[in-house]
Amino acid sequence: MSTPLKINKPLVSVEWLHENKSASNLVILDATLPKVGQQQSASNKIEGIENAFFFDIKNIFSDTTAPFPNTAVTPDVFEREVRKLGINHDDAIVIYDQHGVYSSPRAWWLFKAMGFENVAVLNGGLPEWKKPGYASEALLVYNGALGNFKSSYKPSALYDYKKVLEVLSDSNKLILDARSSDRFKGTSPEPREGLRSGHIPNSKNLPFTELIDDGKLLSQTELIQKFDNLIDKESEILFSCGSGITACILALGAEVAGYKNLAVYDGSWTEWGSLHQLPIELN
């Protein structure tokens, strides 16, 4: 019987995962979301890392009745659906996606928002896993016993627009927008129809693509440089993007860089840009 795995870092390498793949409490989740313009594949048809299960952000772990996409589900729903994947409170979870590092940080952040810390993102995802020839297979469909996972929700992890309004003029809190600079400045139209262009007042722009190189997150040293140029480590950072997905890439990068006071604006620009009573800035 192998020793239960304890993950003490937010990002792990494919070599680390391969070395620890036999741990008794390891759960591997595929949290792939299609990028804009792509179609979602049937989960049981996707090639994934061996022994991985599909973590369906779009249809299961987002509130499909909410007015904005990718809205986090309630803690009760999250707990129920995670238990259906057989996940227990003492498991160690590694999450990846098929793009490299794209949607897996969203699943990682949801687990952290629900009070679960023994979780990490696989740097480089499935493409990086396949480079050394590590085994892949069709994703498994879990049909075993329910797990005993317990949600312990942290409200400070996920903001709504009302909480964002409260911090607009707080100099100890930085709002970082993960969208492209053209969208941030309002010089390119939003991909979602009906959204205003621009950004949240007093926010700064750090496109998520600046933290990714060839599908992998930058090194800790490079990430420290990115964030230390913007804010000191004692301040709180609130991350926003288009719909709450790529903001979590910034959150992952900031945690790797050593920042602790982090939050994600769940509705992000899809919500902010839709609500005409909320202030915006251009350029």
Cβ atoms 147, 176 nearer than 8 A: no
Structure tokens at 90: 């003492």
- N-to-C CA span, the chain: 58
241 is catalytic: yes
**Which residue out of 49, 85, 241, 249 is catalytically annotated?**
241
Gap between the Cα atoms of 212 and 218, Å rounded: 6
HEC secondary structure over 233-244: CCCEEEEECCCC
**Where would I find the beta strands (DSSP E) of the chain?**
11-12, 26-30, 47-49, 52-54, 92-96, 119-122, 136-138, 158-159, 173-177, 204-205, 212-213, 216-217, 236-240, 262-265
Cβ atoms 175, 268 nearer than 8 A: no
What is residue 245's DSSP assignment? S
Contacts 24+ apart (CB under 8 A), 35-44: 35/99, 35/102, 36/191, 43/139, 43/141, 44/138, 44/139, 44/141
What is residue 281's DSSP assignment? B
Q: Residues with catalytic annotation?
A: 241
